[in-house]
A and B are shown apart, each in its own frame.
Chain A
Amino acid sequence: MKRLSVMLAAAAGLAISAGTAMADTTLKMVEVITSPPRTEFLKKQIAEFEAANPGVKVDLVSLPWGQAFEKFLTMVQAGDTPDVVEMPERWMGLYANNGQLEDLGPYMAKWADAKTLGERAKEFGSTVNNTQYMIPYGYYVNALFWNKKLFKQAGLDGPPATLDEFIADAKKISALPGKYGYCLRGGPGGFNGMHMFMNIADGKGGYFNADGTSTMNDPGSVKGLQMLADMYKDGLAPKDAVSWGFNETVTGFYSGTCAMINQDPDALLGIADKMSADDFAVAPMPVGPTGKSFPTLGYGGWAMFANSQHKDDAWKLMATLLSPKDNLDWAKEVGVIPIHNGADQDAHFKTEQFKGWFEELSDPSKYEMVTPPTHLENLGNFVDQVAIKNFQEVLLGQKTAKDVADEWAAFLTKEQQDWMAKNKK
């Protein structure tokens, strides 16, 4: 009898544990902008979430950024969709326009932390169809890193405030043996910098006029593109920079090869490791002929797939990662500007290195942030392939700035006007 009761108890125990196992939820989460320390940090935040939410497990898939676009798209095409995905701004049009992302508006309406969420997070997460398809976890704002030592050696006492000063300073620094004024980024990811200088020289931010025609071939924009080509041709940037990506420009800066780069706060992590804080600072981008500047503002965020079977748990995970505490820690770790109001008061962000970014963010009359037209489906290919190849052709003198700007304008005008026609209904 005793044996029977033990067996019954064991069977009941097994049944209960099986029941618990069946009640467990496993959320699939994909991160696409990865580095080993960043992934470790995310895993730590996930572990805390799992501890606070028994029964919910998170299965994290980390894709290397270099192949993330095609790998993730292949996963989605094969029906292997995650519950939560890290969404770079330029992919949003592709997935949102195809009805694959969940509208986060209703979830945000019941979210306690929404009251401190900055307006920009709501604005940038809902650029497609005015629907909150993602919530940014931080901003990549471009500003100008400058090497104090090299400036001093060239007889300069501060960063350039205008585009003309930028070129003049680059000239003076490039006169130093083996040194260059500007770490141009001609290779992967070079579009941001190139487009930003086109906007600054044009005195007008963004990509389009109200009628959907592109501003890429405005005379001012062409002048900005030509300016970069001239700087390259005149030796104000290293010859090698024609194919430089993120790592090369950052290396070029901290090794003291060139005195200025335009970069986002994520570059600060590597640079601060290699350079003394006294030797460099970050200034706002120089202004153009109209006295205005147009720094690019990129962002990544978290989005939920509409076909998720565990939407409530997926939202819980997103809400945890986007809470003021987790977001502040995340911003410090990955090098982005945090999304909740008041985060700039944190001691971490009150250094000379962050001054440039917060100055840009705090003066909208002088600094107009330019975000990519994320609603366009073919933006990723244009930015990552077409524009880079053409930019290199301009730098190498194989095509003129005007011809390339005209090509870009024709492409973007068609994309935008098609989108406008489709969204009129």
Chain B
Amino acid sequence: MQGIQLDLISEARISQMASMEKVRYIIDEVRKGKILVLEKGLNPMEEAKLIEMTMSAIQPDVFSGIEMQSYPANTDVSLLGKLFKKQSNKRLTVIGPANQLKTLKKDRNLISALVSAGK
């Protein structure tokens, strides 16, 4: 059966991994053509690392990169919130091969994406 594999990854599973392990896992899975939905997304440093490692993996006609979308962090603008600023809590991250996943619309609370069978 032809199809696209969509992996919904729980917070429990992803939080067991160290940062580099997460990034490598994501790139390996996405290069296989999978779309990943992480229940708890990556932190901003991990996202930057993922971008950096994705660039190292790009090959003409084979892999052109990833489509990644996450919600902006919730910001606590209260005085106490600013004083005891917590780590940004990403609520959800969607990652897939750039030739199969296309963002149609994104705002603070919604990510709308189109998944296709690729080129």
Q: Do A and B bind each other?
A: no
* Contacts from A to B (Cβ < 8 Å): none
